[in-house]
């Protein structure tokens, strides 16, 4: 094998490595991958709250402890805040779920969709919420607020 063939093969390997590395970085990054044929599909729901302490773009959204999406945008309105969350399409949400904003001691926030399965059951005819549905949420007390009341 001469020098020219070896340079060509090394170039092909470097180029392929760059393409594969770029794809892997895109798939594992925070950006949406819905433009890819195998990318995750998602839908956007709104969460109406009075206050949103610690919430920002990319704040995690969970359902029963499982990550289902992230906050896409925050809109300030006259009577509170409207959070728009991008939810993975394979994670259905129902109107019976109630979102809660929870903050940790260090100020990080999460939005948790909860349904009390111990007290009541999800109706058999419950339909998944459509794109643009707006939930009424609540901001739970932070740990410091609870200590201050104690």
d(CA 138, CA 31): 28
pLDDT score recorded for residue 52? 85
Strands 138-139 and 42-49, sheet pairing: unpaired
d(CA 147, CA 143): 6
Pair 83, 47: CB distance under 8 Å: yes
d(CA 13, CA 18): 9
Q: How far is CA 141 from the centre of its chain?
A: 22
Mean residue pLDDT of the chain comes to 84
Report whether pLDDT(119) > 80: no
Report whether pLDDT(143) > 70: yes
pLDDT score recorded for residue 37? 62
Q: What is the DSSP string of 23-52?
A: HHHHHHSSS--TTSTTSPPEEEEEEEES--
Q: How many C-beta atoms surround the C-beta of residue 121 within 10 A? A: 11
**Which residue stretches of 2-150 are H helix?**
3-28, 143-149
Report whether pLDDT(53) > 70: yes
pLDDT band, very low/low/confident/very high, at 140 (cuts 50, 70, 90): confident
């Amino acid at each position: 094998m001469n020098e020219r063939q070896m340079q060509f093969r090394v170039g092909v390997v470097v180029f392929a490595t760059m393409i594969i590395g770029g794809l892997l970085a895109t798939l594992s990054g925070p950006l949406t991958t819905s433009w890819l044929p195998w990318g995750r599909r998602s839908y956007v729901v709104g969460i109406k709250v009075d206050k949103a302490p610690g919430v920002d773009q990319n704040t995690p959204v969970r359902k029963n402890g499982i990550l289902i999406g992230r906050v896409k945008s925050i809109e300030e309105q006259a009577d509170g805040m409207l959070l728009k969350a991008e939810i993975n399409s394979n994670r259905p949400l129902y109107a019976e779920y109630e979102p809660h904003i929870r903050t940790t001691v260090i100020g990080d926030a999460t939005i948790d969709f909860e349904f009390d399965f111990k007290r009541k059951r999800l109706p058999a005819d419950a339909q998944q919420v459509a794109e643009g549905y707006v939930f009424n949420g609540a901001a739970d007390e932070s740990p410091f607020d609870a200590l201050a009341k104690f």
